[in-house]
Structure 1
Amino acid sequence: MKILLIGYGKMGKTIEQMATAKGHEIVGRISHENVQELHQYTAETTDVAIEFTHPESAFDNISYCLNNGIPVVSGSTGWLDKFEEAKNLCREHKGAFFYASNFSVGVNLFFHFNEYIASKMQAYKAYDVAIREVHHLQKVDKPSGTGITTAEGILSSYSNLEGWVADNPEEKTKLNIASEREPDVVGTHIVTYSSDVDKIELGHIAHSRAGFAEGAVMAAAWLQGRQGVYGMKDLLNL
């Protein structure tokens, strides 16, 4: 595949290493320093774009790709207030768009088990549910996209909760997501069910970014020849 990297930070560089090791070609590397060069890439020169940038630029990057017939895989978080617009744009142009808040196979199995456990635990009212997520100091958005996806998986079974709230455990009508930022943490997500007598935890701890990068490259290869909006559940058949 001819891959355009939009976002060339830690994730972009890890994706590059993973992709080239698998025999794929990197046709471009777009960062904040050369963002104007994005407009030189077309469907004729690019098989797929892999986009990992910031909340303020993600939608514009994705829109450019979809408007120009370039299949795009995005892992940017913090921009999902425009997600429906992106999906509509994809359908309008009969494009291909793959989005995940986290591309790790392990995390997506965690999402799957999280939904199952929530569907069972909601019957046991003695247990209070909460989420804790920990990331590196450079992580811009709080809570993390993975934390929000985890919350959504729980809320699908908890009709008594009125959505999620960030760092406010006193708000009992909502699911609390506690966010912490520490040096050299790749990503930790813990769901806790606590009662007066015991505690149940489901967690995922990432040891490196390699799992995220591998999943993104897998998604880019899987997206070839497809049309529509997809996510990790489609890729992993969950």
Structure 2
Amino acid sequence: MKIALLGYGKMGKVIERIALERGHTIVLKKSSNDSFEGIQNADVAIDFSVPDSAVAHISECLNNNIPIVCGTTGWLNDYDKMVELCNSKNGSFIYGSNFSLGVNIFFELNEYLAKMMNNLKQYNVSMEEIHHTQKLDAPSGTAISLANGIIKNSAFTNWTLENPTENEIHIEAKRIENVPGTHSVFYDSEVDQIEIKHTAHSREGFALGSVIAAEWLVGKKGVFTMKDVLGI
């Protein structure tokens, strides 16, 4: 499989190593100011860039019939536009706020717990996410996905980084040097606390998941998620 890497920072380099180990070829390594020259040779593209570049990268791929796996967060105000473009071009697109296989299991566990806790009004839910100081968006895309999973299965209607109202989930976003990503969901009552937590030890899990998603996407048409890739 020939892969275009859109974003060649720390994540891009880990993805490159894992892709090569799995027998794939890298045909483009695009940093911020580089052109898309060579992308037409790719079977699939993997985007881990920055929020301001994601839409241009996705659009370039869809307009050139290149399947695209996007793990960049912080650009989701334009997500519906990219879905519309993908459908209009009969393209192939996966967006994931987190491609770690463990995190995607964690997403499912989070939703299941939210359903169980929905009628237990004595518990208040809150969240915490911790990432490295180079992360540009806050809260993380993973935290937003977790919050949306709770909202879908409860009476909560929104999340906030500020002081929450009755129907809002408070997310505390921390930036600490050299933390790949830690996400916790808390249910607190006067008598106890329930906590579920996912801790990433390195970028390896995100990179491996994105390569697995790219392998799965080639040959398919439509807009997909990691739930489709993992069959969950």
- Give SS of 1:38's match: coil
- For residue 72 of structure 1, the aligned residue among 68, 72, 81 is 68
Q: Which residue of 2 aligns with 1:104?
A: 100
Between the aligned residues of both structures, percent identity stands at 48
- For residue 91 of structure 1, the aligned residue among 79, 87, 91 is 87
Distance in structure 2 (CA, Å) of the matches to 1:129 and 1:169? 13
- For residue 204 of structure 1, the aligned residue among 187, 198, 207 is 198
Name the TM-score, length of structure 2 as normaliser: 0.98
Q: Which residue of 1 aligns with 2:231?
A: 237
Q: Which residue of 1 aligns with 2:39?
A: 41
1:18 aligns to 2:18 (yes or no): yes
Equivalences for 1:104-183 in 2 at 5 Å?
104-159=100-155, 161-166=156-161, 168-183=162-177
Deviation at 1:41, TM superposition (A): 2.0
Distance in structure 1 (CA, Å) of the matches to 2:37 and 2:13? 21
1:187 aligns to 2:181 (yes or no): yes
Residues 38-93 of structure 1 show CA distances to partners (whole Å, capped at 9, x for unaligned) of: 15422xx1100000111111011101100110000000100001101000100000
- Give SS of 2:36's match: helix
Point out 4+ residue stretches in structure 1 off by more than 4 angstroms: none
* One-letter code aligned to 1:6: L
Deviation at 1:212, TM superposition (A): 0.5
Deviation at 1:173, TM superposition (A): 2.7
Distance in structure 2 (CA, Å) of the matches to 1:181 and 1:210? 20
- Give SS of 2:171's match: strand
Distance in structure 2 (CA, Å) of the matches to 1:10 and 1:172? 40
- Give SS of 2:61's match: helix
Report if aligned partners of 2:27, 2:38 keep a CA contact under 8 Å in 1: no
1:5 aligns to 2:1 (yes or no): no
- Aligned pairs, how many? 232
* One-letter code aligned to 2:179: V
Residues 118-147 of structure 1 show CA distances to partners (whole Å, capped at 9, x for unaligned) of: 001011000000110000000000000000
Distance in structure 1 (CA, Å) of the matches to 2:88 and 2:80? 12
Where does structure 2 lack aligned partners over 5 or more consecutive residues? none
Distance in structure 1 (CA, Å) of the matches to 2:217 and 2:160? 34
Distance in structure 1 (CA, Å) of the matches to 2:226 and 2:164? 33
Residues 137-188 of structure 1 show CA distances to partners (whole Å, capped at 9, x for unaligned) of: 00000000000000000001122x221112x234333111110000110000
* One-letter code aligned to 2:199: I
